[in-house]
Structure 1
């Protein structure tokens, strides 16, 4: 088992359920996505480039799906949260029912297109 998978499975509820659902959606949509464990959280890479990361905040009670290319994202910006971050924006989920799959998959697809246009650099 990968360290990122173990991390997800060891999370308390509701974080575990949210993270597992996000994992299924991301890997189902992007089968080549590589789940890694960087900076103590799950990171997805596509073609050796960072794609998005999953950041559970137990203290604040949510899970973020965060994107570096947020300045270039144009769809569903009303759902993207920057919260004093200069580069990264995220979709935030407090419970499993908060996940709007259409919004998430649309933002993931747009981030993927931006990655293909060279907005991501290899890490």
Structure 2
């Protein structure tokens, strides 16, 4: 078992259920992502670059889905939380019922589009 998967499975409820649900949504929608364990939390990478990460804050009572490309996200900004963070924004869930899959998948899709490699065709004249 990967360390990131062990992290998810070893969380107390409701964090465990939230994290498993998020993992299923992310991995089934974006099979290209790679789940890694960085800085003691699950990180999803796309093309060897950070895509998003999952952070269970037991003290504060929620799970964050945190996006690296937050400055470029335009959809559902009213649901993205910066919490005085300068670089990243997140969607935050305290229970399974909080997860609006349409919002989550739309923001993930936009972040995915921003992270896809751009291939520039060199024209030789």
TM-score (normalizing by structure 2): 0.92
* Residue equivalent to 1:121: none
- Which runs of at least 4 in structure 1 moved beyond 6 Å after TM superposition? none
Match of 1:89 in 2: 89
In structure 2, list runs of 5 or more residues that go unmatched: 119-125
1:27-60 deviation line (CA, Å, top 9, x unaligned): 0001121100000000000111110000000000
* Partner of residue 71, structure 2: 71
Could you say which residue in structure 1 is the equivalent of 2:109? 109
Partners in 2 of 1:39 and 1:117 — Cα distance? 25
> 1:1-123 to 2 correspondence within 5 Å?
1-116=1-116
Larger radius of gyration: 2
Kept in 1: contact 2:93–2:99 (CA 8 A) = yes
Q: CA RMSD in A?
A: 0.9
CA-CA distance at 1:117 after TM superposition: 5.7
- How many residues are aligned here? 118
The alignment's TM-score, normalised by the length of structure 1, stands at 0.94
